[in-house]
Structure formats: structure tokens, C-alpha cells
Amino acid sequence: MRQNMIPFPRARWAMSALALVTLVALSVAAGAAPAATAHDQVLSTSPTTGENVDTAPKQVAMVFSDDILSVGAIMLIVDDQGRNWADGTLKLDRATVTQPLAPGLPNGAYEVRWRVVSADGHPIAGTFPFSVGTVTAGSGSASAGPASSGPATVSPQPGAADAGPAQAPTGAIGGGLPLAVVALLGAGGGIAVLVVVLLLTSLWKRRRSA
């Protein structure tokens, strides 16, 4: 005995299909969200941000929230004359990054400029200031500076060029696409969409043949 199927208006069917696709998109995007926001954070620095120390430090250290990858790391300690006082190899010990300084660091203001690759593979960068002793205008020019003549230069470690620009995602969505759809595509949810489309197509064909 053939059963009569209850008519299902096209508008309601289309709305249900859209709701199902959106639900899958949001589910995939929610699963991918933690990975996208898992960049390491700076827990502490030595000297601390804006600190004025009486004695010139021998090194600058930073502690992050997770282990730092051993590629693309660099740290500059620049005075108000643009000279870099970093001296020696940058040391990475799990989540701690340490840069030795050249001896004879004079009184003055300094800016630490750093760039590392976080545990999730994304490059992150930033700056923070500190000062030594009494800071006066042009204090960095009174000292002979590091042994090398002129501003010191630092060559990035192997792999630094491959790490990509160290900037956070802006979150801007182009092309007018819904955020859920963009997140789904970015998260590699194409397979999920394909499954949903095939399922809806099958249901539609069964409804037509009934």
C-alpha cells in the first residue's frame, strides 16, 4: 500500500537546508577557533617593560606561555642612536628566549625589538622599552658602543624568511560572504559541505519520486 507523503513547501525546505549548512559551518568553525587564537603570550621580561635599572644588564630575557620554535627568532636591543647592543647567539630554552648584550652598555634608553615563532607555527613580534641609569637626551652617543664600528647588524636565523610576516589576523571578511561560511572554508570544511549537499540532494530526489 502506497503512503501519501505530506507536501513540504519549497520555502520551508530551502530554509531547512540553509539552517543545516549553517549549523555544520558553525560547528567546524567552533572547532577551529582555538587553533586560530592559540598564539603564545609574553608572560614576563627581564628587564620588565619600562623598567629603569641601576646597573647595565648582561642579557635580556623573555618568557612565553609555550615553547618557542627554533626558527626565525631574533632580538635587537637598540639605543636612541639606532645602535644594536645584542651580542652573541640568541638562546632558546623551551619557553625562554635570552639575548646576551655587549659589554659596557652605557646609561640611556633602549628598545627591545623581538620576533619569534610561537608553538602553533605563527610568527609573533613586538617591542618593549627599558633604561639604564640616568637617562639624558642623546645619552647613547656619549659611549663608544660595541666593539664593531657603526651600528651593529643582525642576520636572521635560518628559516626566518619562511615564517611569514609577524602580524595578527585583522578579522576582516571580504567579498560579503557570511562569517560562518568563510570560517568553514578556512577550516577545511569543504568535505562537510559536500556531505550535506549530497544528503539534501538525495532527500530532494526521493521527495520528487514519491
Q: Could you identify the residue written with the cell 627599558?
A: 130
Residue 187 is placed in which grid cell? 577550516
3-state SS class at 119? coil
Q: Quote the pLDDT of residue 184.
A: 45
* pTM attached to this predicted model: 0.52
Low pLDDT (below 50) residues in the chain: 8, 29, 32-36, 140-187
pLDDT of residue 67: 95
pLDDT score of 180: 45
Give 91-133 pLDDT, tens digit per residue: 999 999 999 999 999 999 999 999 999 999 999 999 999 999 9
CA dihedral 95, 100, 101, 103 (to 10 degrees): 150
Nearest alpha-carbon partner for 77 in 121, 6, 119, 129: 129
pLDDT value of residue 38: 63
Q: How many CA atoms lie within 13 A of 55 on its CB side?
A: 3
Q: What is the pLDDT of residue 135?
A: 85
Contacts of 197 by beta carbon, 8 Å cutoff, 6+ apart: none
Distance CA 194, CA 187 (A): 14
Report the C-alpha gap between 188 and 140 in whole angstroms: 52
Per-residue model confidence (pLDDT) at position 138 = 57
pLDDT, one tens digit per residue, over 192-205 is 555 555 666 666 66
Write out the three cell numbers for 196: 550535506
Q: Which residues are CB-contacts of 59 (< 8 A; sequence separation ≥ 6)?
A: 98, 99, 100, 101
